[in-house]
Structure 1
Amino acid sequence: MMRKILETMFICLGIFLFFQFPTIVKASGNYQIEKYNIKADIQKNGDIELTQKIDYQFNGDFHGVYYNQSIKGSKGATDPEVYIKKGKQTTKLMPNDSGQNNTFKVNRTNNLMKLKVYHTTSNDNLTFVYKYRLLGMVTNYRDTAELNWLVINQGWDKNLHNVKIAINLPQRNIPELKAWSHGPLSGYTKVDQKKARVVMTLGIIPAHDHVETHMIFPTDVTSDNPNVINKDKKSKILNQEKQLVLNANASRKRRIWIYRSLMIFGALVLMIIYLVRLVGFLKNRGNKHIIPTPLYHSFNEPRFLPSFTKILLDRSDKADSLGLTADLLVEVGKRRMKIEKFGSTYEIIALKEPSNSFFKYLIEEIGDGKKVNLRQIKSAGQSFKRKKLNQEFDKWSKNAAKGRKKYFDQENIDIVDDFRFMAIAISIISAVIFVISLIFNRNVLLTAVVLAVLISISWLIWIGAKKKITPYSDLGEEEVNQILAFKRMLKDIDDIKMAEVGDLILWEQFLPYAVVFGVSDKVIKALKINFSTEEINQSLIVPFYFGANSFISSGASSFQSSFTSALTSGAGSSSSISGGSGGFTGGSSGGFGGGSGGAF
C-alpha cells in the first residue's frame, strides 16, 4: 500500500516539475551574463541618459557581442559610445564598419539601433559598457508625467543574472513619485521619493522574459519636455496598475499556497514512511540467532561450490557469471573438464559428461558435443541463439541457488530491506522537496539542512539494522563464519607459508574460491614465491592463472562477457498598489523600447 502511494506521488510531482523546472534552469551555452547594471538619468526635456554595463563570462572562443536597442515609440537615440572593461583597465572602442578587432558597427532602422561589437576573446570575463541618450521617452499630460519604458525586452536567449536598474529623476524630493515594475515576480522595486530614484533588482531574469517600468511624477520634473499631450491620464494609469498589482499579488498567493501545500504533503509523506516503518519494526523486531565465535583463519575450503559460496556471502537468490567461471575451474581441477589454448582464444573440453546443465548446453548446443571455444560462445551471444543462451544461463543460476533457504532467515532479510527501502524513498522524496524549494526560491538553505539530516538518519537506521539483524539462520551463521575465515586466510596469504599448509594440489582446489573472493592475484603471486617453477608447470590448473594472456586474465572475462551480454540485453515581495516600493507584477503596461543582445 505504501509503495503504491509513493508511486502515485512521484508521478504527480514529476508532472509538476516537468512544467515548472524550466523556469529556473540556467541557460546552457558557451557564455553567461553574470551581471547586468543599468543607470538611466531622466533629463528635464524627457530624454534618458543611459549607461549599461553587462558582464559576460565567456567559455570558448568568441569574436564579439551584439546589442539591439529598440527605439520604437521614442524619438530615437544618439550615437552610442562603447567601452570594454577588464579588471581595472577600460578600453574605448571606435565606430567602424570594417569589422576589425576593438571596433563597433551601428546599423539603424526606424525602430531599431543595432550595435555589433568586434572583440576577439577566449575563456575570459569582460564587461561591455554602452552609453547613449534615448530621446523623447517621457510624456507630459495635464495631470502627470509618465515614463512607460520596456527596459529589457524578450530578445535575450540567455538568463540574465544579478540585474540592477536604477532610474534617477532630475530633481530631489518628489513625494508624488510612483513606480510599478513588470516582469518576473521575484523582482523587487524600491521607490525612494527623497532621492527621486527608482531601483529595480532581480536575481535572475529568465531568457525571453522582460522588465518594464511604469513611472508617474509631477510635470514640473520634466518641465522642458516638448512631448506634451493635453489630456488627463493619471487616474487611468492608477486603475490600470492597481489591477495588474492585484493580479500579481494573487499569483504570488497562489504560488505560496502551492509551495506550502507541496511542502506539507512532502513532510506528511516522510512522516508516514517513518511511522509505518517504526510500527512495523515494533511489531516484528526480527528473529534472534546464535552467532558463533568468529574464526580468524581457516584452511578448510567451503563445502559448497564457489557459485553457491558467493550466493551465501552476497545474500543473493541466484548465481552470477563470476560464480560460473569459478565452477568451471573446479571442474577442471577435478579432471572432469579441460581448458586448452585455441589460437587466440580458449577451448573448453569435456573429459566426462558435464553435470552442470549450462556447461552441458554450451558443449552440446554451441560446440560440437565434445568441446566449445570462447569465440563460439561469444557468437551465440550475438546471434539468434542469444535468447536460448539467456534462458539456459538463467535456469542454471537459479538451480545453483537451490537449498539456500535453510541458510537464510527471510523474515530478517525483509525487515532490513524495508529499512533500505525507507532510506531510498526518503532520499528521493527529499530531493524532490529540495527542487520544489529551488523552484519557488523559498527557505532553500533551511530546507537543505533539514532534508540532509532526515536522509542521514534514514541511512544510519538502515546501517544499524543491517548490523543488528542477521540475515542468516543458525546453520547459515555457522557456514558463513567458516567461509569468512577461509576468505580472510586467502586475503592474508602474504603472511602464510603455503608449502607448510599443503601441497600444490591443495592450493589448486583453493584457487576457484580466490576468484569469487576477488583475491586470485594475491594467491597467484604467493604461489610463485612458495612453489618452484617446475612444480607450477606440472600443475594442470595453476598455469591458467598466470600472465596477461592467461585464462583468468583474458579468457575468463571473455567467457563471462560472452553470455552476460545476452542477459543485460521564487516568490518575490508583494507589489505595491500605491506605486511605492514592492515586488514586480506580471504582464505589461504597454511600455515601449527595450534592449537585448548576445555574443557571436
Structure 2
Amino acid sequence: MFKNKILQSFLALLFGMCLFYGGKIQADYTITNYDVNVNLQQDGSADITQQITYNFKGTSRGVYYDQPLEKGVVATQPSIVVQENGQSIQLTPNQDGSNNSFQVIETDDALKLKLFHNTADTTTTYYYSYHVTNFVKNWQDTAELNWTIIGNKWNVPLNNVRLKFQLPSTNVADLKAWTRSESKATTSVSKEKGQVVVNLKQNPSASQVKTRLLFPTSVVSTNGLVVNQKHKQAAIKSEQAWLKDNTQTKKVSNRNNLIFKAGVFGLALVIILVWALYLLNHPVKKQKWPDVNPPHSYEIPPMSAPVAMSIYTDNVPDNNALGAYLLELAVKQKIAIEEFNTKRKDYQLTLLDASLANSEPMIDFLFNTVGDGKKVTLHELRKYGKTQRESKQMSHIYDKWKNQVEQEALSYDYLSKKSAGNFYLTIFLCGISCLLLLWALFLWKTPWMTGLSLVLILGQVGFNVYHFRKHSPYTETGVELITQLRAFRHTLKDLNKINLKSKGDLNYWSQVLPYAIAFGYNKRVINALQANFTVKELEEGLGFYYNLLFTAPIDFGDSFSTSVTRALGNYHPNNN
C-alpha cells in the first residue's frame, strides 16, 4: 500500500546512503603524527626511531606495526615505549598477550609487531627504536638507500608525516633524493647537513611511500655490502622515468576524475529535471489529508474489523486482525469459540458452518489441516509449523488471507493511484538526486559545490514537503473514511474517560469488541465495560463474549495472537 511504498523508498534511500557513507566511516582511531628518523652509520647500517601518535575513540587493546624491509635487511628486536597522559610505559616482549607487552611476528620482508596496551579515549604515542643492517648498498659509482619507508598495510590515513634521513657526515656535495608517493610529498635535501627530510600532509590509507638516496660511497666507507657494478645513472633514469610517468598518470587521473565528478553532479541535475517535468506533465488535484485528531465517533465502521484495521494502518493486517476475523465469524455463528482446558489456558474452535471451509482458505487450513475437520485448539496451532513443509504451508495461507483482506480494503477506493504514484516516483527520484548531490559535495570538496549542492538538496526536500502537504494520496472518500476510522479508534483509546451506558447498550458494545481486538485495545475496552456495567448485565448482554473475553485468564485476542506468532516461528532449519 501507499505507506509501504513510502517506507520502501525511504529504506532504499537510507540503504544507499549507508553504502555511500560506508567508505567514509572512520575507524576507531586516527593517526595524527607519523615521524621516522633514520640515522645512517658508516658501516651502512642505521639506527631507526619512529614516533606514531594515535587518537583513540573508545577502547583499544593495542595496535599492529608493519614496517617493510628490503631484501637482506635485518632488524634487531625493537625497544618500544608508550606515552600517554604524561606517563611513559616500557613494553616487554611476551608471547602471552598480556597488557603492556609485544610479540614479534617472524617474516623475511618486514618488521611485524603485535602490541598490547589497554587504553580508552586517549591520545597515545608509540615510540619504536631498533637497528638495521645491510641497509645501504655500495655500488662502484654511488652508495644507495632505496627503502619503502611506509608500507601499504595502514587502514587509516597517516597525518603530518615527517621522514628524516641523517647521513653520518656533513657537506655531502653529491647528495640526491627522490620520493615516490600517491599524495604530494616535499623532499628537502640539505647537502651541508647531510640530511634529507620528506614531508607529507597526509598519506592515504593503503598507500606506500618509497624514498631513494644517492650519495658518495665515502660516506659509508666501512660498508660491507658492496656490488662491483655501476648503478648511479640507471638509478637516476629510473626516478626520472617514474616522475614522467607519474606526472602523465596524474594528468589523466585528474582529467578522468573531473569528468566523473561533473558526471555525478550532472546526473543529479538531470534527475531533478526529470521529476520536475513529470510533475508538470502529470498534475494531480489538491487533496487535503484526513484529520489527525478528530472528535470521538461511536459509529461502527462499515467494513469488517480486519479490513478497517488494514485501511487505518494502510498496511496488511496482523495477528490481532486475524483474531478479530474469527471473533466476527463466531458472532455470525459460523464457528464457536470456547475456553478449553483451563490449566493450559487454551481455547477450542468448532466449525458450525461446514461450507465456510470451501470458501475461506484460512478456515480450511485451521480446521482441516491443523485440526480434525471439526475442531481445533490453540494448543494444536501453537505446535504446528515445526517442519519446513508445515511452516511454508502456514506462511502461504496466512499471506493469502492478508492479501485477501488488503484487496478488500483497496476496494473501498480510499487511495488515489495517480497521486500515490506521483509521490512515490518523485520521492524516489528526489532521494536519488539528493544522494548524488551529497556524493558530488564530497567529491568536489569546494565551497561553491558545497553551497550549491546543499541549496539543491534543501530546495528539493522543501518542495516535496510543500507538495505532499497540499496533495494527499487519498481520494475524497478515503479522507472521510480514514477520518472516521481515526475518530472511532480515538474513542476506543479514551473509553476509560467515557460513560459507556450513555453511548450505547451492550448489544452495541458487543459489535465494538472485534474492532477493539483488531486495533489492539481489547483490554482497554474490557476494563471500561467492567467499570460501567455489572457482572449480571455483562453476562446477559454479551452472551458468549463474556466467558470468552472477561473471565478467562488470558482473553481470546491475546491468546490467538500469541499462538499464530508461535506457529509462524516454530520452524528452525538447524533442528531438522
Query: What's the TM-score once normalised by structure 1's chain length?
Result: 0.71
Aligned residues, how many?
533
CA gap of 1:313–1:453, structure 2 versus 1, over 3 A, is: farther
Structure 1 equivalent of residue 4 of structure 2 = none
What residue is the counterpart of 1:348 in the other structure?
Answer: 349
* Match in the other structure for 1:487: 489
Distance 1:69 1:281, change over 3 A: closer
Aligned-partner Cα distance in 1 for 2:431–2:397: 33
Alignment CA distance shift 1:189-1:521 (3 Å): farther
Please list, as runs of the form range in 1=range in 2, the aligned pairs for 1:453-464 lying within 5 A after superposition.
457-464=459-466
Aligned to 2:416: 409
Query: Contact 1:54–1:128 at 8 Å: present in 2 too?
Result: yes
* Cross-structure match for 2:559: 554
Counterpart for residue 425 of structure 2:
418
Q: CA RMSD in A?
A: 4.8
Aligned twin of 2:6: none
1:313-392 mapped onto 2 (5 Å cutoff): 313-315=312-314, 319-343=317-341, 344=344, 345-353=346-354, 357-366=360-369, 367-378=371-382, 381-383=385-387, 384-386=389-391, 389-392=394-397
Q: 1:550 to 1:279 in 2, by over 3 A?
A: same
1:530-569 to structure 2, matched below 5 A, reads: 530-533=532-535, 535-536=537-538, 539=542, 540-541=544-545, 544=548, 549-559=554-564, 562=567
- The 5-angstrom pairing of residues 516-531 of structure 1 reads 516-531=518-533
Distance 1:466 1:522, change over 3 A: farther
* 2:148/2:210 contact within 8 Å kept: yes
Offset from partner CA, 1:150-180 (integer Å, 9 cap, x none): 32456x5865743724214457898975432
- Code of the aligned partner of 1:179: A
1:214 match = 212
**Cα pair 1:322 1:560 within 8 Å, conserved:** no
| Alignment partner of 1:167 out of 164, 167, 172 | 164
- Which residue among 503, 506, 517 is the counterpart of 1:504? 506
- 1:473 corresponding residue in structure 2: 475
Q: Is the 8 A contact 2:185 2:200 kept in 1?
A: yes
Cα distance in 1, alignment partners of residues 318 and 333 from structure 2: 23
**Conserved in 2, the CA contact under 8 Å of 1:104 and 1:116?**
yes
Instruction: Answer whether contact 1:419 1:465 (CA < 8 A) is retained.
Output: no
Q: Does 2:314 correspond to 1:311?
A: no
Contact 1:40 1:48 in 2 (8 A): yes
Distance 1:148 1:92, change over 3 A: same
Query: Does the Cα contact within 8 Å between 1:363 and 1:370 map onto a contact in 2?
Result: no
Which 10-residue stretch deviates more, 354-363 or 470-479? 354-363
CA distance in 1, matches of 2:329, 2:77: 89
Q: CA deviation at 1:545?
A: 5.1
SS in 2 for 1:180: strand
1-side partners of 2:569 and 2:156: how far apart?
47
Compared with structure 1, are the counterparts of its residues 445 and 287 closer, same or farther at alpha carbon in structure 2 (3 Å cutoff)? same
Aligned residue for 1:304, secondary structure, equals coil
Flag the 1:192–1:123 CA change in 2: closer, same or farther, 3 A: same
CA distance in structure 2 between the aligned counterparts of 1:545 and 1:521, rounded to whole angstroms: 9
- Opposite residue 420 of structure 2, the aligned amino acid is I
Secondary structure of 1:541's aligned partner: helix
Q: Higher relative contact order by CA 8 Å / sep ≥ 6: 1 or 2?
A: 1
When the two structures are superposed, what TM-score results if normalisation uses the length of structure 2? 0.73
Q: Percent identity?
A: 25
In structure 1, how many angstroms separate the alpha carbons of the residues matched to 2:448 and 2:355? 64
Between the aligned partners of 1:548 and 1:229, the Cα distance in structure 2 is: 94
Q: C-alpha displacement at 1:287, in angstroms?
A: 3.4
**Structure 2: runs of 5 or more not aligned:** 1-11, 572-576
Q: 1:333 to 1:429 in 2, by over 3 A?
A: farther
Q: Residues 353 and 432 of structure 1: is their aligned pair in 2 closer, same or farther, counting only changes over 3 Å?
A: farther
Unaligned 5+ runs, structure 1: 1-9, 567-600
Give the superposition deviation at 1:453.
6.0
**Structure 1 pair 148/113, CA: closer, same or farther in 2 (3 Å)?**
closer
For the 8 Å contact 2:323–2:560, the answer to whether it is kept is: no
Q: Distance in 1 between matches of 2:253 and 2:188?
A: 25
Q: Alpha-carbon deviation of 1:412?
A: 1.9
- 1:379-410 deviation digits (Å, cap 9, x = unpaired): 55445355554554455444433371544322
Indicate the larger mover: 335-344 or 453-462. Answer: 453-462
Quick one: distance in 1 between partners of 2:45 and 2:466? Answer: 72
Structure 1 letter corresponding to 2:559 = S
Change (3 A) 1:469 1:533: same
Q: Partners in 1 of 2:141 and 2:448 — Cα distance? A: 49
Q: Is 1:389–1:563's contact at 8 Å kept on the other side of the alignment?
A: yes
Contact 1:106–1:113 (CA<8 Å) still a contact in 2?
Answer: no
Following TM superposition, by how much is the alpha carbon of 1:213 offset from its aligned partner in structure 2, in angstroms? 0.6
**What corresponds to 1:301 in structure 2?**
300
- Per the alignment, do residues 181 and 69 of structure 1 end up closer, same or farther by CA in structure 2, a change over 3 Å counting? closer
Relative to structure 1, the CA distance from residue 225 to residue 381 in structure 2 (aligned partners, 3 Å threshold; closer, same or farther) is same
